Amino acid sequence: MDLENQKRVKELAEKYGPENVVVVLGAAEGEASGLAAETVTAGDPTFAGPLTGVQLGLKVYHICEEEMKSEVAEDIYEEQIGMMEMVLDVDDIASEMKSIRDQYCKY
Amino acid sequence: MVIYRHITISCFNYESNGGKLFCKPKILYADKKETVSKNQNRHDARLKKRGTAAEEICFAADILEVSMNSVIKATGYILVHAPDMVIHNGSTQTTERIVNPDSEYLKKLPQHIRSYEDALKYLPNQTYIGNMTPDDLAKFEQPWFDKTGDCADRFGKFGEIMPQEEFYLLMQACDVFDLLYLEKGFVDAAKPKLAAHPLMNESILGRIKDGVEMAEVEKFVNEEHAEGLYNHDKLVGYVKRAHDVDVNLAAHVIHENLVSKASSVLSILYAVKNSGLAPEDIDYVIDCCEEACGDVNQRGGGNFAKASAEIAGLSNASGSDMRGFCAGPAHAFIAASSLVKAGTYKNVIVAAGGCTAKLGMNGKDHVKKEMPILEDMLGGFAVVISENDGVSPEIDNSIIGKHSVGTGASPQAVITALVAQPLDDAGLKITDIDKYSAEMQNPDITKPAGAGDVPQANYKMIAALAVKRGDMDKAGLATFAEDHGMVGWAPTQGHIPSGAPYIGFAREDIMSGKIKTAMIIGKGSLFLGRMTNLFDGVSFVIRANSGAQTENSVSEEQVKGLIAKAMKDFAMTLMAE
């Protein structure tokens, strides 16, 4: 995850309390989604950014996961995400995300 | 394309009012009843002023002439193998040295650096300079870094792969402020090699200075904040700071900018050679790289374009820089084609050099996966856009995609604005465009880094949109990328892969009749500059020259040209009387 984004996530979690923050990802595939999810839960796996060794354990979802999709008005979702839903391997992303949440999410 | 067979011209509507002539060029087609001139309103307004008969006819002729599309006259594509710059100048490595100087990555990195010979053998590199086509490359199973083909030549039909030694000398030729010096022994060994280069003339070679003593190089690097130049891990020169205090003129910045300038110059040299034009024929250069040159009072003042034009010997050219992150080149092509179509300039070059900061950008993943560092190439390109020659493929300025402020940032909104909307306006379907060239990053580099296959991701999005709009059955999704796309082959140098790498092949494919149309798409991540969160992108269509399309029919462009000439001749006789 981009170092600047790590910094912003860390600051937002400190400001509002980690239990009140949900990170929504839009990465294009499972591996990248998993890495970003790991960064905001277990810490930066590349040991490069501000979240290195910081286990925030935040709630984290990909926008294509059912949990997020059900939160959005159907027509808006179709307009904004419908095309990408056809393109992405949603099952792979969802299973990667769930695996990270099961291991590291604290909330 | 509509071929117009029956043409009626009603050019002159005389009014006896004061002997003035009211002139309104109008071409009516048997199969398409509409006027040619898109500038009709402007034209009508201008006509109200009225001039002499001859002036009016000349003006009408101008209107016809300027409505001719510009053409892709020639292209130049170059790579520079820069192994030592990966280690010393790539931002991933320079950041790592600050944050984690004893890291395993930095220790392992040198073992993963490729030799020049390996860089020559690398299939995507051979594709970039034109020795292989994208279709040839696609025949090789990925990954490509462990495969070799038949060709490992330095020179290709579009350009070349220059070794680092010679490039340092070219950088010095591009340094007009005495900021770059090379060690004596290095110059003595490398200069004869550059002197043998087919495009290096006396004016460039004459700019190379005599070498300096090693002690001087070490002193500037160790004591004067100079940026070291290394070759095979050995210090061979330095770029000194251009100001003691101003960070905009620090050695690091000057080094980065000289690299960009020198690789742009090399690209321009090839593009001019390939065009058959003389350097003096070039009127204007637009630089579209992602660097900035300036000082503390004007950080991005410019002007890479004119600076490069000077070294490349384009004595009649001016120029300016156009920026838009990775979308910069596509913006520049649209601007250049408009300048030529408007008749402002006859020959415009769009050029960009390479970027040191992006060298080894994904190096950590490549090293972790026991791969060579594939981001050891600086890229450059230059495209000559000229007035219509009746043969070369045209840039069709009537089909322009644009991501506007109000478009939105979702991929769907972006692809709609860049692809679907302009085609809609032109009455075309997504499947009517033969080839799309968006972000042509080499997947060999991006896939191991978790960034996926970028060109394929673009084709999937365009295909999905085509299905959503009913342009194509869902069954077409599987083959869309193969039918309307290509594998990626360009180095991950931001603006370099952004649509531009295909223009050379597109020119050939269109002229050979393999395809008729190609859409070039540039996309830019403006948020990186922290001034806006907006996304950006523009697109344009290249199509076969309407004059080159048929043997027996007269094309629209030819007709306009003929009428314009006839009208001017007539006006001259009126003036003579």
The pLDDT tens digits of the residues spanning B57-66 come to: 766 666 555 5
For the cut 60, the answer to whether the pLDDT of residue B357 exceeds it is yes
For the cut 50, the answer to whether the pLDDT of residue B17 exceeds it is no
For the cut 60, the answer to whether the pLDDT of residue B544 exceeds it is yes
* CB B557, CB B545: distance < 8 Å: yes
Residue B22: pLDDT band (50, 70, 90) is very low
Q: What is the pLDDT of residue B262?
A: 98
CB within 8 A of B414, min separation 6: which ones? B403, B407, B408, B523, B535, B537
* CB B236, CB B186: distance < 8 Å: yes
Strand-strand pairing, B71-81 and B159-162: parallel
Nearest to B464 among A28, A32, A83 (CB): A83
Q: What is the pLDDT of residue B66?
A: 52
Residue B3: pLDDT band (50, 70, 90) is very low
Q: What is the pLDDT of residue B52?
A: 66
For testing contact with chain B, the best of A24, A85, A87, A89 (most B CBs within 10 A): A87
Comparing B65 with B563, the larger pLDDT belongs to B563
DSSP B216-261: HHHHHHHHS-PEEEEETTEEEEEE--S-SS-GGGSHHHHHHHHHHH
Residue B559: pLDDT band (50, 70, 90) is confident
What are the φ/ψ torsions at residue B242 (nearest 5 degrees)? -95, 0
For the cut 90, the answer to whether the pLDDT of residue B175 exceeds it is yes
In Å, the largest CA–CA distance within chain A is 41
Q: How many CB pairs under 8 A join A and B?
A: 47
Q: Report pLDDT digits (tens) over B370-393.
A: 999 999 999 999 999 999 999 999
Comparing B402 with B571, the larger pLDDT belongs to B402
Instruction: Give A107→chain B minimum CA distance, Å.
Output: 27
Nearest to B26 by CA among B4, B41, B48, B8: B8
Question: Residue type at B423?
Answer: L
For the cut 50, the answer to whether the pLDDT of residue B552 exceeds it is no
Distance of CA A11 to the CA centre of its chain: 16
A32: contact with B, CB 8 A cutoff? yes
For the cut 60, the answer to whether the pLDDT of residue B139 exceeds it is yes
Q: What is the pLDDT of residue B62?
A: 61
Tell me what the mean pLDDT of segment B167-171 comes to: 98
A chain contacts of residue B460, beta-carbon cutoff 8 Å: 86-87
Q: For residue A103, what are the CA distances in angstroms to A19, A32, A52, A55, B572?
A: 17, 17, 17, 12, 85
Q: What is the pLDDT of residue B169?
A: 98
Q: What is the pLDDT of residue B65?
A: 56
A chain contacts of residue B100, beta-carbon cutoff 8 Å: 47-48
Strand-strand pairing, B535-543 and B435-437: unpaired
Nearest to B450 among A32, A82, A87 (CB): A32
Instruction: Give B244→chain A minimum CA distance, Å.
Output: 30
Tell me what the mean pLDDT of segment B559-565 comes to: 78
pTM of the model: 0.84
* CB B291, CB B278: distance < 8 Å: no
For the cut 90, the answer to whether the pLDDT of residue B266 exceeds it is yes
Residue B557: pLDDT band (50, 70, 90) is low
Nearest to B307 by CA among B386, B383, B254: B254
Q: Report pLDDT digits (tens) over B465-504.
A: 999 999 999 999 999 999 999 999 999 999 999 999 999 9
Nearest to B171 by CA among B155, B151, B187: B187
* CB B55, CB B62: distance < 8 Å: no
- The rounded distance, in Å, linking the Cα atoms of B521 and B504 is 15
Residue B30: pLDDT band (50, 70, 90) is very low
* CB B547, CB B5: distance < 8 Å: no
Tell me what the mean pLDDT of segment B155-161 comes to: 98
Tell me what the mean pLDDT of segment A14-38 comes to: 94
**CB contact (8 A) between residue A82 and residue B100:** no
Tell me what the mean pLDDT of segment B315-340 comes to: 98
Domain ranges for chain A, please list them.
3-104
Helices of type H across B145-183 = 164-174
Question: Residue type at B183?
Answer: E
For testing contact with chain B, the best of A6, A29, A76, A83 (most B CBs within 10 A): A83
Hey, what CATH topology would domain B394-543 get? Answer: Peroxisomal Thiolase; Chain A, domain 1 (3.40.47)
**CB contact (8 A) between residue A84 and residue B364:** no
For the cut 60, the answer to whether the pLDDT of residue B12 exceeds it is no
For the cut 70, the answer to whether the pLDDT of residue B20 exceeds it is no
Q: What is the pLDDT of residue B186?
A: 98
A75-79, B79-83, B341-345: least confidently modelled range: A75-79
A80: contact with B, CB 8 A cutoff? yes
Q: What is the pLDDT of residue B51?
A: 60
Q: What is the pLDDT of residue B19?
A: 38
Q: What is the pLDDT of residue B575?
A: 79
DSSP chain A: --HHHHHHHHHHHHHH-GGG-EEEE--SSHHHHHHHHHHHHT--TTS-STTTT-----EEEETTSHHHHTTS-HHHHHHHTHHHHHHS-HHHHHHHHHHHHHHH---
Q: What is the pLDDT of residue B556?
A: 65
- The rounded distance, in Å, linking the Cα atoms of B58 and B121 is 56
Q: What is the pLDDT of residue B25?
A: 42
End-to-end CA distance of chain B: 41
Instruction: Give A80→chain B minimum CA distance, Å.
Output: 6
For testing contact with chain A, the best of B97, B410, B447, B473 (most A CBs within 10 A): B410
Q: Residue B175: is it exposed, middle or buried by C-beta count within 10 angstroms (0-12/13-18/19+)?
A: buried
Nearest to A32 among B412, B451, B465 (CB): B451
Instruction: Give A45→chain B minimum CA distance, Å.
Output: 12
Domain ranges for chain B, please list them.
7-69+554-576, 394-543
Tell whether the torsion through CA atoms of B554, B435, A84 and B467 is positive or negative. Answer: positive
Comparing B54 with B530, the larger pLDDT belongs to B530
Residue B45: pLDDT band (50, 70, 90) is very low
Residue B397: pLDDT band (50, 70, 90) is very high
Q: What is the pLDDT of residue B499?
A: 97
- The rounded distance, in Å, linking the Cα atoms of B310 and B315 is 7
For the cut 60, the answer to whether the pLDDT of residue B239 exceeds it is yes
* CB B161, CB B379: distance < 8 Å: no
Distance of CA B54 to the CA centre of its chain: 41
A4-18, A49-63, B263-277, B560-574: least confidently modelled range: B560-574
Q: Report pLDDT digits (tens) over B328-341.
A: 999 999 999 999 99
B364: contact with A, CB 8 A cutoff? yes
Tell me what the mean pLDDT of segment B164-179 comes to: 98
Nearest-by-CA chain B residue for A31: B450
pLDDT, averaged across chain B: 89
